């Protein structure tokens, strides 16, 4: 083979308007034998996100009936909200949008759990929410600014919904959680490296313009907080949230207790 022969690329890189970049799934670990997860494995569980990274992380919980139904919520809340409120309200709206679409699904039945998430990168210089880069020039400027700032925050908000067994108003239980991580870029990153990374197109579909789970890790010196939060779904916090909202959804005993209390107090007339 000639020394000048170059390896054939696997395919063209994603463009700045490609919303479905290719990913290679990793092997799944053994399922966690927890009561909440065991119960959910026989029921509909919906991830209200098209993110392949969130799907991969959530798949580690072994939820065999996991469905991917991206939310149609336009994510157009005013940027005058604080970054915390912006991502929290966006996650809630994503979950509620899918809930309204699926709660009366006659073919598949109502979902047992809906999980939505929103991840944002916060510009450390002014607290501005960094979106996905829209051009190569913006991509370079974004990563250069993150390098110059040194550190920046990544927030992921999650919203989980389950139908109430009692069906009392509003018909569902909703729980939320927000995870924050601090990411420090390597101060020694050169302009040449930033340009080379941008031209891989790995970060074009990611807030902040880099993928921590891939080649983008060469830009990062350290992370304080959850690693998978930076990727898009903090699994430890997600599991706790799922367990909490499922417990709240099982409210029939609570309602029965309230009825009995009302009878004892003379509040209910037979």
Rounded to a whole number of angstroms, the distance between the first and last alpha carbons of the chain is: 92
> Hey, which residues are catalytic here?
118
Q: What is the rounded distance in angstroms from the CA atom of residue 259 to the CA atom of residue 253?
A: 10
Query: Are 131 and 207 within 8 A, CB to CB?
Result: yes
Per DSSP bridges, beta strands 220-224 and 172-185 are: antiparallel
From 176, 173, 36, 171, select the one nearest 104 (Cα to Cα). Answer: 171
Integer CA distances (angstroms), 95 to 29, 81, 99, 259, in order: 27, 19, 6, 31
The DSSP annotation for 231-253 comes to: HT--HHHHHHHHHHHHHHH--HH
């Amino acid at each position: 083979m000639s020394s000048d022969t170059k390896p054939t690329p696997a395919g063209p890189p994603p463009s700045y308007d490609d919303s479905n970049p290719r990913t290679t799934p990793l092997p799944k670990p053994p399922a966690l034998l927890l009561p909440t997860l065991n119960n959910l494995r026989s029921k509909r569980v919906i991830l209200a996100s098209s993110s392949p990274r969130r799907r991969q992380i959530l798949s580690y919980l072994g939820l065999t009936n996991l469905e991917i139904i991206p939310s149609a919520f336009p994510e157009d809340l005013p940027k005058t909200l604080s970054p915390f409120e912006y991502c929290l309200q966006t996650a809630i709206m994503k979950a509620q949008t899918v809930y309204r679409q699926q709660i009366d699904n006659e073919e598949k039945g109502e979902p047992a759990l809906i999980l939505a998430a929103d991840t944002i990168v916060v510009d450390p210089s002014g607290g501005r929410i960094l979106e996905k880069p829209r051009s190569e020039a913006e991509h370079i400027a974004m990563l250069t600014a993150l390098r110059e700032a040194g550190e920046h925050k990544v927030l992921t908000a999650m919203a989980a919904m389950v139908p109430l067994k009692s069906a009392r108003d509003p018909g569902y239980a909703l729980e939320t959680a927000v995870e924050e991580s601090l990411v420090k870029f390597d101060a020694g990153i050169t302009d040449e490296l930033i340009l080379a990374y941008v031209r891989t197109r790995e970060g074009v579909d990611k807030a902040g313009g880099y993928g921590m789970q891939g080649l983008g890790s060469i830009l990062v010196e350290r992370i304080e907080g959850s690693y998978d939060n930076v990727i898009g779904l903090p699994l430890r916090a997600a599991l706790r949230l799922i367990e909490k909202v499922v417990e709240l959804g099982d409210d029939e005993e609570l309602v029965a207790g309230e009825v009995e209390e009302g009878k004892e107090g003379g509040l209910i007339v037979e």
